Amino acid sequence: MKYPFIFLLTALVFTQLTGCSSINHNAKLQYQPSTESPALSSLDHWKLNAKLGIRSAEKAQSISLIWQQLGTNYSIKLQGPMGFGSATIDGNQQQATIQQGSKNMTGAPDHLSAELLGVPLSIEAMNWWVKGLASPNHSKAANIVIQENGQLSRFEQNGWQLQFSGYSKNGPYLLPKKISGRRGELSFKLVINQWDFPVKDVSPK
């Protein structure tokens, strides 16, 4: 009788060790953009062309956008369906101005973008998400999942459950092509068609 008991005990110990190994393996999959992607986290001079799909309980819309980031300043041109028309958002982290037809609004960037799009999408957070990084200026990212190849797959931040896919080389950077987010009944999908990295103007002022 002692041999079956020893066999059972051995199997139990092996199972416990296997479980610990899996937990330790997952624990290593920590997302650390400041050390893993220093060049990417400091990238602040770029331009992208993308399609933004937004869905709420009331409606769904598709908007084309061209986003140019110059340091902390940005200019985002949007072209949407009938009823939305075209709009431009110019600003920085503190203040933005929206021009839409004859309307001109100035205020906090996140408040204005939510009013324009009907979805609480933070421009400051999206500035990081498009690069496949969590925003350091919002709540700490949670439930981070890293693929076996080291690419970020998903995380939660600022109330959004985010997924990243379609990574490809753009200039010297490996960037996601598609970013999807869900927040209750709200969802968005950003598909990036083109990246450009203009040469910085370093001439003396």
Q: Mind listing the pLDDT tens digit for each residue in 101-120? A: 888 999 999 999 898 888 89
Q: Mind listing the pLDDT tens digit for each residue in 135-173? A: 998 999 999 999 888 889 999 999 999 999 999 999 889
Residue 67 inside a domain? The answer is yes
Backbone torsion region of residue 148, taken as left when φ is above 0, otherwise alpha when ψ lies between -120 and 50, otherwise beta: alpha
What CATH number is associated with residue 153? 2.50.20.10
Residue 29 inside a domain? The answer is no
Residue 21 inside a domain? The answer is no
What percent of the chain shows pLDDT beyond 90? 60
How confident is the model at residue 200, as a pLDDT?
Answer: 65
* Residue 74 structural domain: 40-196
Cβ–Cβ under 8 Å, residues 71 and 44: yes
Residue 166 burial (10 A CB sphere; 0-12, 13-18, 19+): exposed
Residue 125 inside a domain? The answer is yes
Residue 112 inside a domain? The answer is yes
Q: Mind listing the pLDDT tens digit for each residue in 27-61? A: 333 444 433 444 788 899 999 999 999 998 888 99
How confident is the model at residue 158, as a pLDDT?
Answer: 93
Residue 20 inside a domain? The answer is no
Tell which wins on pLDDT, 13 or 132. 132
Q: Which run of H or of E encompasses 129?
A: helix 123-129
Per the structure, how many domains does the chain have?
1
Residue 204 inside a domain? The answer is no
Tell which wins on pLDDT, 40 or 8. 40
Residue 19 inside a domain? The answer is no
DSSP 158: T
Number of Cβ within a 10 Å radius of residue 156: 18
With CA atoms as reference, report the closest residue to 182 among 131, 93, 121: 121
Mean pLDDT over 175-180 rounds to 96
